[in-house]
Structure 1
Amino acid sequence: MISVLTELKYLFKRFVLIANVLPTVLGFIIAARYYNISFGDYSVDFLLLLIGSAMLVAGALTLNNWLEADVDKLMERTKNRPTVTGSISLRAILIMGIVLSLFGQFLLLLINLEVAIYGFIGWYTYVVVYTIWTKRKVTWNTHIGSLSGAVTPLMGWGVIDSAFHPIPLSLFAIMFLWQMPHTYAIAIRKYEDYARSGLKMLPVVRGLQTTIRRTNIYIVLLLFIPLFLSGFSTLFYVLITLLNVGWLIIGVIGFKTPSVKKWANLLFASSLVYLVVVYGLYAVFV
């Protein structure tokens, strides 16, 4: 039993799975607070959202592993995946990915069509556009991957009301921009792995200085997101601006750091803190 759970842990990329499902749940919570609705009124829909999004993301990640079995064996960080070790057959992994994806999509459709559409957009951009079409060919594959992750708060908000609203759309923009520095940090930390694999990650193809410049551009863009929001207290705008400035300072350090990899470690850790604080601010001040 323990060995099966270990294999699934690698197959589903547990931290990536959590990182995609959690913003979905937080999107729901923020919407519930904004509309002042009772959780009990949406308990069934919330359960469908939680299970459906988890299964859809797990399905997408499983299919990603199946599609990248040939490159995963070249990278240290992916060498323990079942697609590399052979502990689960590739045919079984393919079937698992398809079944999880279809069942997860079905559960989201039971909530409403808008939530299901956001789920499909996330799945399609990650599995097809990102993994199949762009990851091996162009450096802007990261933008596609970021789009896939950015729809997650829209899914959560969409359970309660249409996500064509400034608050969930701002969270979408933050998620998209945030993922660029976050992913670049990972690519720098695992530079040798990506170089061996041949995947077109920006640090490998365009160099570290270009990556540092791009990182800071996306962090600067985050500074402008609060300008499109209204109705929050002054304290919210002050705190989120300070947060953005603080992360920008970390980004700028990259230009002068004696060790780019140590800076990438700092950028990666701070990106996690940044996102947690952002969602906390939204949840408290909405």
Structure 2
Amino acid sequence: MDKTNTAINAAKVLDAGAEEVTSSDTQKSWKDYVTLAKMGIVSSNLITTFTGLFLASVYTDFQLIQNLHILILTLLGAGIVMAGGCTLNNYIDRDIDHLMERTMERPTVTGRLKSTNVLVAGLIQSAVGIMMLAAVDPVPAVIGIFGLFVYVVIYTMWLKRVSTLNTVAGSVSGAVPPLIGWAAIDPGLHLYAWLLFAIMFIWQPPHFLALAMKRCHEYKAAGIPMLPVVAGFAMTKRQIVVYVAALVPISLFLYPFGIIYTTIAAVLGLGWLALGFAGFKMKDEIKWARLMFVYSLNYLTILFVLMVLVHI
């Protein structure tokens, strides 16, 4: 009898342990998929998506509060499309990610997730996101498809590995979120929507070139022809300053947003430009690149949040 009870208890312990392991593995698996979706990138892009949507509602007198389903579907759809694109990016880059310190721990590199599962997940996320956007209006769905195609096919599969123009291609896809948001309310896309696109497009090269300088040795090891790898730091710094200089007047084209927006946008832009010129004198180029990268993140967040605040 004692032996029987002992066997039963041992079996219960083993079953409990198996359930705990299964639960733990499932939890880790979900966390891995979230990691592949690059939620930091998705979150920052959703700020610009919301800005486009909110401004469109202001300038078309669209009652956003009475139509919260439009807001929810647009943000969810855009976010899931972006997550799908990032997941597919991880799937495609799994052959080179192990060569870079910042990507070598990705689940696609360590083998925590099967590559076929990652591919399926990316395709499903992309399809679901597009369908959500299409439920709002066909135009944001088409813009979402365009951005996804440029990011996955033109940027990740092609230019990223063969040309320094990869930064420009990535900038195109990264600039569509505010267009998606605006088109959800106003498919005709007001001039302001295109100015938001232009700001995003011009902002991204100095942002990513600064990152490329920080991670230059990693990109070189992976064989990715980023500008600092191909042309050196001096050329990269000049390119960064040119882009920032172009961004300042473009951001000021939105002067109808009011004196508060215009003043802060000018101060932010000129501050970034001054930091850019300081790079020609700083001896520690990596430190300068780090400062430029952090400034670029703050610049974009403050600028787009400001656009919303001045219209409330």
Residue equivalent to 2:136: 111
Larger radius of gyration between Structure 1 and Structure 2: 2
Q: How many Å apart are 1:191 and its aligned residue? A: 1.2
The answer as to whether partners of 2:98 and 2:109 remain within 8 angstroms in 1 is yes
Structure 1 segment 266-277 matched on structure 2, within 5 A:
266-277=291-302
Q: How many Å apart are 1:8 and its aligned residue? A: 2.1
Q: Whole-Å Cα distance in 1 between the matches of residues 284 and 132 of structure 2?
A: 47
Of 256, 262, 265 in structure 2, the residue corresponding to residue 240 of structure 1 is: 265
Residue equivalent to 1:11: 36
Q: How many Å apart are 1:227 and its aligned residue? A: 5.2
TM-score by length of 2: 0.87
Structure 1 segment 1-286 matched on structure 2, within 5 A:
1-162=26-187, 164-226=189-251, 228-229=253-254, 231-286=256-311
Q: How many Å apart are 1:2 and its aligned residue? A: 4.1
TM-score by length of 1: 0.95
Moved more, 188-197 or 1-10: 1-10
Moved more, 20-29 or 123-132: 20-29
The answer as to whether partners of 1:59 and 1:97 remain within 8 angstroms in 2 is yes
Q: Whole-Å Cα distance in 2 between the matches of residues 237 and 13 of structure 1?
A: 32
Moved more, 29-38 or 46-55: 29-38
Moved more, 217-226 or 13-22: 13-22
Structure 1 portions without partners, runs of 5+ = none
The answer as to whether partners of 2:182 and 2:189 remain within 8 angstroms in 1 is no
Residue equivalent to 2:7: none
Q: How many Å apart are 1:163 and its aligned residue? A: 5.3
Q: Whole-Å Cα distance in 1 between the matches of residues 39 and 306 of structure 2?
A: 26
With over 3 angstroms needed to count, the CA separation of the structure-2 counterparts of 1:2 and 1:24, relative to structure 1, is same
Q: How many Å apart are 1:82 and its aligned residue? A: 1.1
Give structure 1 regions of 4+ aligned residues with deviation exceeding 4 angstroms: none
Moved more, 12-21 or 261-270: 12-21
Q: Whole-Å Cα distance in 2 between the matches of residues 163 and 127 of structure 1?
A: 26
Structure 2 portions without partners, runs of 5+ = 1-25
Moved more, 147-156 or 220-229: 220-229
With over 3 angstroms needed to count, the CA separation of the structure-2 counterparts of 1:66 and 1:226, relative to structure 1, is closer
Q: Whole-Å Cα distance in 2 between the matches of residues 23 and 186 of structure 1?
A: 21
Alpha-carbon displacement from aligned partner over 1:40-78 (angstroms, at most 9, x marks no partner): 332112111122111111111111111111100111100
Q: Whole-Å Cα distance in 2 between the matches of residues 101 and 118 of structure 1?
A: 13
Q: How many positions carry a matched residue from both structures?
A: 286
With over 3 angstroms needed to count, the CA separation of the structure-2 counterparts of 1:232 and 1:26, relative to structure 1, is closer
Moved more, 206-215 or 155-164: 155-164
Q: Whole-Å Cα distance in 1 between the matches of residues 213 and 27 of structure 2?
A: 33
Could you say what secondary structure the match of 1:50 adopts? helix
Q: Whole-Å Cα distance in 2 between the matches of residues 149 and 36 of structure 1?
A: 27
Moved more, 231-240 or 133-142: 231-240
Percentage identity across aligned positions? Answer: 38
Q: How many Å apart are 1:177 and its aligned residue? A: 0.7
Q: Whole-Å Cα distance in 1 between the matches of residues 285 and 128 of structure 2?
A: 43
Q: Whole-Å Cα distance in 2 between the matches of residues 163 and 79 of structure 1?
A: 43
Alpha-carbon displacement from aligned partner over 1:119-144 (angstroms, at most 9, x marks no partner): 11110100000011100000010000
Q: Whole-Å Cα distance in 1 between the matches of residues 225 and 262 of structure 2?
A: 37
What letter corresponds to residue 56 of structure 2 in structure 1? Answer: A
Moved more, 235-244 or 265-274: 235-244
Q: How many Å apart are 1:230 and its aligned residue? A: 5.4
